[in-house]
Amino acid sequence: VAIFVIFGAVLNAGEAGRGFMNIASAFAGRLTGGAAKVSVISSALMGSISGSASANVASTGAITIPSMLRLGYPRALAGGVEAVASSGGQIMPPLMGAGAFVMVELTGTPYTQVMAAAMLPAILYFAAVWIGINAYATRHDLKPMPAEDQPSGKEVAITSLFFAVPFVLLLERIFLGGYTPQYAASVAVFAGLLLLFFDVTLSFSLRGFMRRLADAAVTAGRQVAVIGAIIICASLVIGVLSLTGLGVKITSGILSLSNEMLWPALLLTALACLLLGMEVPTTAAYVICVSVAGPALTALGVEPLLAHLFVFWFALLSTITPPVCGGVFIAAGMAGENWLKVAVNAMALGIGLYIIPLAMIANPDVTRLAHDPLWAVFDMFKIGAGLAAISFGVIARHAVWWRVLLILVGSVVIFAL
């Protein structure tokens, strides 16, 4: 577990972040609403190694929010785009923040299987945000990024090496070499350390290496300590619930209130996760909620890993849902807008965060990429089509009856077909 945290810290200390921004700008900057789409791509890439919504907003938002404001984007929309895009960092493999590692500890599922199960839902989340931006683009005539703000092909190629080389080595060692994830991550860390000797101009600097290495060591140490503390606390919570029998009573309560029906139990669990997430960090809310609600969901036939993913996604709601929405507050401050207006835009763009966990239960094959990739991809496209309809129904400027129809059709596609 720790080696993956070190891997993310090493990439963050180097020029990987610059590479993420450049490749996002090159890919999406010329599109309608390009600055907002750059925020989505860069936040997805940054989130794959940081897993912190606040860190994502602070790092990518410092570039993307001013860029959107210069192009005339509404301040509430600029802040909402960055907040909702950055929130996806905690669900984006390979690191997924501390939650992925705690999930490995609690379920006994290999890390690679957790990563595979989380991959397609995470892609769906960012696709839903992208679709929402397209809907806003038609309302506000959002412009592409100007050519002078877009990186050259040479700059994109050079800076991409800082994340492409370690990532390719990591995936090649795991999936083609057949090595353990720990060994593969060690090789990727070594490659990342070598890249710390160079800056974006490929200039060699021993002093720069020492500075970046110190940053990586501090970041990795802090994150490993946090993960260790969360795992220890999780063990204590689970132990107390087991010894006192409280966990069994709460599980029985959920089953009783839901009349032992799956969907009412899911909604009760989702409400508990939202309330807990407003008071404690996402991972802590996930640990507590899955300890009491997880057994109820598995008793109703939900696979253990799927139950954990469901709870974790709903524990993430507090990042964009008032009254406690850390990513929104940071983005609102950077955009110079009222936080509640930013939150409204973030919730509309982040509609997938509310729907995808339920869609995973209705379409469990979407989490079985490692075992049944064809059906997993099929379910992903089906859910994506439904999400697109719902997103346009929530955001697009149409007659009310047309928007309601879009939402109903999208819901039928996801949950009834």
Least Cα distance to 396 among 410, 413, 416 occurs for 410
Q: Which residues contact 379 (CB under 8 A, 6 or more apart)?
A: 120, 363, 365, 366
Q: How confident is the model at residue 51 (pLDDT cuts 50, 70, 90)?
A: low
- Residue 138: CB atoms within 10 Å: 14
Average pLDDT on 344-368 reads 94
Query: Residue 373's pLDDT is what?
Result: 92
Q: How confident is the model at residue 215 (pLDDT cuts 50, 70, 90)?
A: very high
Q: Secondary structure of the chain: what % helix, strand, coil (to 5)?
A: 80, 0, 20
Q: Is 158 left (phi over 0), alpha (psi -120 to 50) or beta?
A: alpha
Residue 150 phi, psi (nearest 5): -95, 140
CA distances from 246 to 107, 250, 267, 325 (A): 20, 6, 21, 30
Distance CA 43, CA 92 (A): 10
Distance CA 251, CA 258 (A): 11
Q: Are 7 and 174 in contact (CB under 8 A)?
A: no
Q: How confident is the model at residue 142 (pLDDT cuts 50, 70, 90)?
A: confident
Distance CA 148, CA 196 (A): 28
**DSSP-assigned letter for residue 245:** S
Domains in the chain: boundaries: 2-230+319-415
Mean pLDDT for the chain overall: 85
Out of 8-22, 258-272, 366-380, the most confident range is: 366-380
CA distances from 302 to 103, 110, 114, 258, 295 (A): 16, 19, 16, 15, 9
- Whole-model pTM: value is 0.84
**Token pair belonging to 230:** 């969360």
